[in-house]
Structure 1
Amino acid sequence: MPVAAFDASSQASNTPVTVDGPHGPIRLKWHKLRTRLGEAPFKRSNLALGWQLGASLEIDILATADGRFAVLHDPTLGPSTTGRGRVSQMPISSMDGLFHRDSNGTPDPDAPVLSLAELLAPLRALPKAPSANLQLDLKLLDGRMLSDTAIADAGAAVAGLAEGIIVGSHYLDDARRIAAAIPGAQLGYDPMLAVSRQPGLRDPQHLLRHIERRMAGVTFAYLRFDAIIAAEKQGFPLVARLLDLGIETDAWTVNPGRDNRDATLCALVKAKVRQITTDAPGDIFRMIRAL
């Protein structure tokens, strides 16, 4: 499905990709490719826009029954899309003609349910800004090991785009396998699932050691924003310690509309996070600039 042509530069001022902080620029990662709170996820036009503007972008991927990757966040198609069924039990072809819904439940024709290969194919014909990157966030696997077919599918889907790809996940071993199939791709680790299963990792020093033991090849740590703030309140500079190890921290997911949001952003900026994941990059840009 082709992406409609547009002038990326004309939208740049309204679609920020970074914001200046006291410790340097902070990237604003477009969560699920969103540029506005409430819009449908994984819009093709947002992917094309961000690729040309130099944005940090994120999509979620799930393995289907036939060893392909679909761009989906949830293990089931409903209610976030116009389809129904469990993704891991369905072939990719059964998702043809489906669309993602926005926050009002309205299907968005710019956000069809696509395979990873279909979504990324148009990028090869677009100019990539040097700072652009795309995180493939590997989601729930139903306890199954990824098949070799799925690994090969991911490698083929990003062929020619690897220098802009980051493979990140709660499931680090599987993310490593995908990254190994994409020469030049970076690797990220989200330890928050491990934290939910091992309460001792709520101690930021224990969490740091947990990441350090698994850090080979890891360049990004994806931490829930409140875990970062809790570490700072305890007087432990978790983000700074990770930077000492060569690992940048992404704080997820920070959106406007909650109490004490200014205090949250102040704490994250002070902690020296290098990236903030958000569904509303324009709002977060303005809020940080106003601090």
Structure 2
Amino acid sequence: MQMTDVANVQGLEISHEGHRTRLKWHRLRKRFADPLFSAEVMAEGFAAGASMELDLRVRADGGFVVLHDRELEGETTGHGPIAEKSIDDFSGVLMKEGGRPLILSEDLAAMMQSTHPDALLQFDMKDDYEAIGAKGIEHLAAHFRDVAASVIVSGGSLDLIVAVKEKLPHLLRGIDPTDKLYDIWKANGWKAVEAELRADLTGPTEPDTVYLHWRLILDAAKEGLDMIALCQDHGKRVDAWTFTLKDPEAGFSEEEWLNFSALMALKPDQITTDEAPATERAWRRRINE
């Protein structure tokens, strides 16, 4: 198996039938037991050449904080909507898990000055362009232009991704049309899904990567629509999210194996997981049986 040059690092990728599928560490977790958005795990991933993901919420001053929820209450000791807070308002606010300080976008930029050349960090933008605006895009440009090779910006807001392209053309971009495609499938069927996905692939965002829920990918494949092949035919990578083993020590259940092996047969470029090393170990055990 082809791995990076860091010794004994598991959970980076799986090679199958000549195809390399990266394992992306979801919300900066190498394992589900890791604390949410762990700076320590991120540093490990930067050194090892891992693909990782974090969520960003925009602040009132145009900067960002690494959090998933719209309100501070869910993940932190703070209170109120993040979009109403400026950088000084986060002083003393801690993550509920472990009492760790929050990661601000300014911290991220400093941490990314030295990374393995294979390392890739996905900024999953949880706000739309209306909320982020030109000020937020300027902030990204000011802080991440010099580390563009290690960053991919993604989001459900196509307007936002187009704005990133215009301001930071060398930054990799990703789109996640999953929710939209689910709605179209329920209303109009798979032919309409295929037409919409084709439109996104050739649209103004010019994405490098398309993020699709793994169940949507498998459901489409059963009906004859290979969404991964369609994207790859357009020169795009596909990330199938989020496949996490229920029992990482035991490995795949029979149902999980059926789904995961079916997904791997479609040759995704990347699979998002909260259990990257366990997934790699479980895969090796199964294929070596």
Distance 1:107 1:82, change over 3 A: farther
Q: Which amino acid aligns with 1:228?
A: I
For the residue of structure 2 that corresponds to 1:99, the secondary structure is coil
1:44 to 16, 23, 39: 39
Pair 1:218-2:204 in alignment:
no
Pair 1:121-2:107 in alignment:
no
Equivalent-residue separation in structure 2 for 1:203 and 1:287 (angstroms): 35
RMSD: 2.2
5+ residue gaps, structure 1: 1-7
How is 1:1-291 mapped onto 2 (pairs within 5 angstroms)? 12-101=7-96, 106-109=97-100, 112-124=101-113, 126=114, 128-141=115-128, 144-200=130-186, 203-215=189-201, 216=203, 217-257=206-246, 260-291=255-286
Cα distance, 1:269 vs. partner? 0.2
5+ residue gaps, structure 2: 248-252
Equivalent-residue separation in structure 2 for 1:51 and 1:285 (angstroms): 19
TM-score, normalisation: structure 1: 0.86
Distance 1:206 1:286, change over 3 A: farther
Kindly provide the CA deviation profile for residues 90-109 of structure 1, in whole angstroms up to 9, marking residues without a partner as x: 223211232334xxxx3243
Equivalent-residue separation in structure 2 for 1:196 and 1:74 (angstroms): 22
Partner residue, 2:250: none
Judge which range, 143-152 or 266-275, deviates more.
Answer: 143-152
Equivalent-residue separation in structure 2 for 1:204 and 1:113 (angstroms): 42
For the residue of structure 2 that corresponds to 1:214, the secondary structure is helix
Kindly provide the CA deviation profile for residues 149-179 of structure 1, in whole angstroms up to 9, marking residues without a partner as x: 1111111221310012111111121022124
Q: By percentage of residues, which structure has more strand?
A: 1
Is the 1:262–1:287 Cα contact (8 Å) retained in structure 2? no
Distance 1:205 1:271, change over 3 A: farther
Is the 1:240–1:271 Cα contact (8 Å) retained in structure 2? yes
Kindly provide the CA deviation profile for residues 168-199 of structure 1, in whole angstroms up to 9, marking residues without a partner as x: 11112102212432342111110012135444
Q: Which amino acid aligns with 1:29?
A: K
Equivalent-residue separation in structure 2 for 1:79 and 1:253 (angstroms): 21
Equivalent-residue separation in structure 2 for 1:205 and 1:284 (angstroms): 33
Partner residue, 1:3: none
Equivalent-residue separation in structure 2 for 1:246 and 1:37 (angstroms): 32
Is the 2:10–2:280 Cα contact (8 Å) retained in structure 1? no
Cα distance, 1:25 vs. partner? 1.3
For the residue of structure 2 that corresponds to 1:39, the secondary structure is coil
Cα distance, 1:14 vs. partner? 4.4
Q: Which amino acid aligns with 2:30?
A: T
* Residue-pair matches, total: 274
For the residue of structure 1 that corresponds to 2:20, the secondary structure is strand
TM-score, normalisation: structure 2: 0.87
Equivalent-residue separation in structure 2 for 1:83 and 1:9 (angstroms): 41
Equivalent-residue separation in structure 2 for 1:288 and 1:199 (angstroms): 31
Judge which range, 221-230 or 143-152, deviates more.
Answer: 143-152
